[in-house]
Amino acid sequence: MAKIEWRSGLRYGISTMLMLFFLLHATGLFPIPFLATLENQAYDLRLKLTAPHTTDPRVVILDIDENSLKKVGRWPWDRDIIAALMNDLFDFYGIQVLGFDVLFAEEDRDAGLDIMDQLADGPLKDDAAFRQTLEQIRPQLERDRILAESFQNRPVVLGYYFKNRRSHGDVDLQSGNLPTPALSKEMMQHQGIPFLDATGYGANLPILQQAAMSGGFIDMPFIDDDGIIRRLPLVQEYDGELYGTLSLSIVRALLGNPPLQLTVAPGLNDKGTNLGLEWIEVGGFRIPVDEYGAAMINYLGPFPSFPYVSAIDVLTHKAPKEVLEGTIVLVGTTAAGLLDMRSTPMQAVYPGVEVHANMVLNILDESFKERPVYVRGIDSVLLLGLSTLLILLLPRLSLTMSFLVAISTLAAVAWINIYSWTQLNLIVPIVSQALSVSSIFIVHIFMQVFVENRSKKQLARVFGQYVPPELVDEMSRHQEGYGMEGETREMTVLFSDIRGFTNMSENMEPKQLTLLMNEYLTEMTSCVHHHRGTIDKYIGDALMAFWGAPLSDPQHARNALLSSMEMIERLPEVNARFEEKGWKPINIGIGLNTGKMNVGNMGSRFRMSYTVLGDAVNLGSRLESLTKRYGVSIIVSESVAAQVPELHYRELDLVRVVGKKQPITIYEPLASDLHQQAKVQEELGLYETALSLYRQQRWLDARTIFTDLIMHHRGRLLYQMYIGRCVHFLKEPPPEDWDGVYNISSK
């Protein structure tokens, strides 16, 4: 009975904790990025399923396409051509409003005019007839003025962009001329609203902006973490004044530029500022916005959602008049290299000009999906009520009934959400509710069916990929103290690498290279497992392993060292098999270090790995790379040698590696049978004498012994290296305080 009560209490406890976890996210007290990502994806799915997927003829995209560029010339076009385009659009086609999703930031002066001005100021400055003729033709050559004149008395909205804290680059940029603000400082009555606060801008030439009816910013700073644009700020603040986005400015131009009205939630927060912005009103249209002044974009569908008309067809009057007459026109481009592409819920690649076009129609149709602050309350109440119902009800039901109740609850969550979306235009979150209900059901089933032997099976499943089966069995018998959480332990790490692998791989077929690596790594891994090691990872031709975790091992340094020596001993057998298959033999280098390391399950939400980190790990990698420099197969640090004093070593050097301030002594371990040979002992004795003379700065004496050693042991890189150092120090002696340390300058 006590056992049953313990399991029941555990079920209630876990279920309640899950509910509270999702509830904290739903209320906004503790947002979970992963759940926010899922919520965005659920929003995108609803938008795709309910979008009309139609082409709306009220807004037309004037397309600066490849055909237009081919016939008119590369962009930017001369301003007189754009002026002609303007005249055609308004006078011949009879459009209502024109908005530019392009910028006119640089002057367009006729080269001939510059030359004539130079002549008028120089050789012909006294020629009255020339100057009179110049003034007569000047209006025809001042292209910016020609374009500005075509803007006058027409509902033209120019695009520009702001720089702010969400932007990259020079946020203090101030280029061009901003339009008249939508709300001036005198009209700004609502303090404390967290509008985007721009610190710079890139705008149009003053002569053009002053001639146009208005302007609107075309930047889209509200990009979600997954890179998708779901909302658009209708206003941004600069120097205490509010400026409208291109879509809002187009609607205002269509309505005769009515003023903006801001509606905030009643009351003040604990900071004494407004609770939040709720609506922006313009000309009788109400736009629901969030506290930052951004509105959700209700996309019509994927590209194209609007008619596209080629600019060259307008200039040549080939475009159908009925397509353009009485419409709102947005100038954009689909030409390669000019296309402003965005990622939206409808498509990963979507024209930026259509984002503005969608927002124009959203305002005119008042077809917004709203996400007011109070939907958090709806989400929280539904989550709390449904989850509590399941927590109390499921333990009393059979498995079949539990399944039916859970499915019914999820169906209710979906119905409420769809009804809110389609009938009330409310964006009610769904992920927290659905996951809370699903998690509680899973916990109930899990506790009822799989609680027996769960810990043992889970332990084997988690660590089975890292350690040999016999260690998994040992851990299963003593499960206490094993987990994936990070901790600090004294451990030993091993790095091994194939010498010349890049050149070898370039001369082998991919299939052969795969077979070679599989066979080689299998042999080396068996050596690690044979000595109770844990495989960390394979990095191309490299192998990384460690000892001392997850199973505690007091002999971790000894086992690691024995494993490395066995790897070298097995190499001739491996190479013999390789030669039978026509493959070149390989040689490897191994580095070992013992020290404090951080061990645990590390990574990202996409992939986790049980691994080790720390300075001691980095030093092990450095030692492996030094094997090439010293011409040995294994290099161990002084900490490894101190842990395994019963083995024999050749002291290689006193070095300071990259990233370390303190020097360390490095060693080459020697097999016991090799060390016992008389010739080897004689060689080691001479080498130790030469090394002692070298550190006493007796360069000639040391070089003599190293030279004698190289004569009897040709090809040993270690002796050649020390001869080179002695020759160097004879020419350029080290400082008086030289301590014998050699600085390794490369990794």
Q: What mean pLDDT comes out for the span 256-264?
A: 88
- 699 token code pair: 């360069």
Q: What is the mean pLDDT of the chain?
A: 84
In angstroms, the Cα distances linking 29 to 41, 68, 213, 289 are: 21, 53, 45, 21
Question: In the predicted model, is pLDDT for residue 269 greater than 60?
Answer: no
Position 2 scores a pLDDT of 39
Q: What is the pLDDT of residues 491-528, one digit of tens each?
A: 999 999 998 888 888 888 888 888 999 999 999 999 99
Label residue 466 by pLDDT band (50, 70, 90): low
Q: What mean pLDDT comes out for the span 290-295?
A: 88
The burial class, CB within 10 Å (0-12 / 13-18 / 19+), for 519 is: middle
Closest CA relative to residue 433, chosen from 12, 11, 35: 35
Q: What mean pLDDT comes out for the span 231-253?
A: 93
Q: What mean pLDDT comes out for the span 22-46?
A: 89
- CA 563 to CA 106: how far, in whole Å? 70
Please report, rounded to a whole number, the percentage of residues in the chain having pLDDT higher than 70: 84
Stretch among 188-202, 209-223, 312-326, 542-556 having the lowest mean pLDDT: 188-202
Closest CA relative to residue 41, chosen from 225, 242, 194, 173: 225
Asked if 482 and 460 touch (Cβ cutoff 8 Å), the reply is no
- 200 token code pair: 């710079």
In angstroms, the Cα distances linking 292 to 238, 274, 277, 389 are: 14, 12, 7, 37
Position 569 scores a pLDDT of 92
Element (H, E) at 434: helix 431-449
Amino acid at 553: D
| End-to-end CA separation in angstroms for the chain | 63
Position 270 scores a pLDDT of 45
Position 173 scores a pLDDT of 78
Position 587 scores a pLDDT of 92
- 63 token code pair: 């397309």
Position 126 scores a pLDDT of 57
- CA 221 to CA 315: how far, in whole Å? 34
Asked if 277 and 264 touch (Cβ cutoff 8 Å), the reply is yes
- CA 182 to CA 175: how far, in whole Å? 19
Q: What is the pLDDT of residues 601-617, one digit of tens each?
A: 777 777 777 788 999 99
Question: In the predicted model, is pLDDT for residue 457 greater than 60?
Answer: no
Chain position carrying tokens 């910028």: 103
Q: What is the pLDDT of residues 119-147, one digit of tens each?
A: 556 565 555 665 555 455 555 557 788 89
Q: Is the peptide bond before 123 cis (omega within 30 degrees of 0)?
A: no
Question: In the predicted model, is pLDDT for residue 209 greater than 70?
Answer: yes
The DSSP symbol for 190 reads -
Position 354 scores a pLDDT of 92
Q: How many residues does the chain have?
A: 747
Q: What is the pLDDT of residues 616-669, one digit of tens each?
A: 999 999 999 999 999 999 999 999 999 999 888 999 999 988 777 889 999 999
Asked if 267 and 255 touch (Cβ cutoff 8 Å), the reply is no
Q: What mean pLDDT comes out for the span 391-416?
A: 88
Stretch among 451-455, 599-603, 624-628, 707-711 having the lowest mean pLDDT: 451-455
Q: What mean pLDDT comes out for the span 353-359?
A: 94
Asked if 440 and 15 touch (Cβ cutoff 8 Å), the reply is yes
Label residue 451 by pLDDT band (50, 70, 90): low
Position 297 scores a pLDDT of 94
Closest CA relative to residue 705, chosen from 723, 717, 718, 732: 723
Q: What mean pLDDT comes out for the span 240-256?
A: 93
Chain position carrying tokens 């004093």: 645
Q: What is the pLDDT of residues 85-99, one digit of tens each?
A: 999 999 999 999 999
Position 1 scores a pLDDT of 36
Asked if 52 and 480 touch (Cβ cutoff 8 Å), the reply is no
Maximal CA-CA distance, the chain:
116
Q: What mean pLDDT comes out for the span 63-81?
A: 88
Asked if 489 and 596 touch (Cβ cutoff 8 Å), the reply is yes
Question: In the predicted model, is pLDDT for residue 252 greater than 70?
Answer: yes
Asked if 389 and 329 touch (Cβ cutoff 8 Å), the reply is no
The DSSP symbol for 106 reads S
Position 137 scores a pLDDT of 59
Label residue 158 by pLDDT band (50, 70, 90): very high
Question: In the predicted model, is pLDDT for residue 469 greater than 60?
Answer: no
Q: What mean pLDDT comes out for the span 737-742?
A: 87
- CA 258 to CA 253: how far, in whole Å? 8
Question: In the predicted model, is pLDDT for residue 4 greater than 50?
Answer: no
In angstroms, the Cα distances linking 408 to 307, 388, 432, 448, 744 are: 44, 15, 17, 20, 68
- CA 99 to CA 76: how far, in whole Å? 17
Q: What mean pLDDT comes out for the span 173-182?
A: 89
- 256 token code pair: 């005769």
Higher-scoring residue by pLDDT: 176, 129: 176
- CA 295 to CA 367: how far, in whole Å? 11
Where does 429-579 show beta strands of DSSP type E? Answer: 487-498, 534-539, 542-547
Q: What mean pLDDT comes out for the span 267-296?
A: 77
Position 452 scores a pLDDT of 40
Chain position carrying tokens 């490894």: 640
Asked if 360 and 97 touch (Cβ cutoff 8 Å), the reply is no
HEC letters along 110-140: CHHHHHHHHHHHCCCCCCHHHHHHHHHHHHH
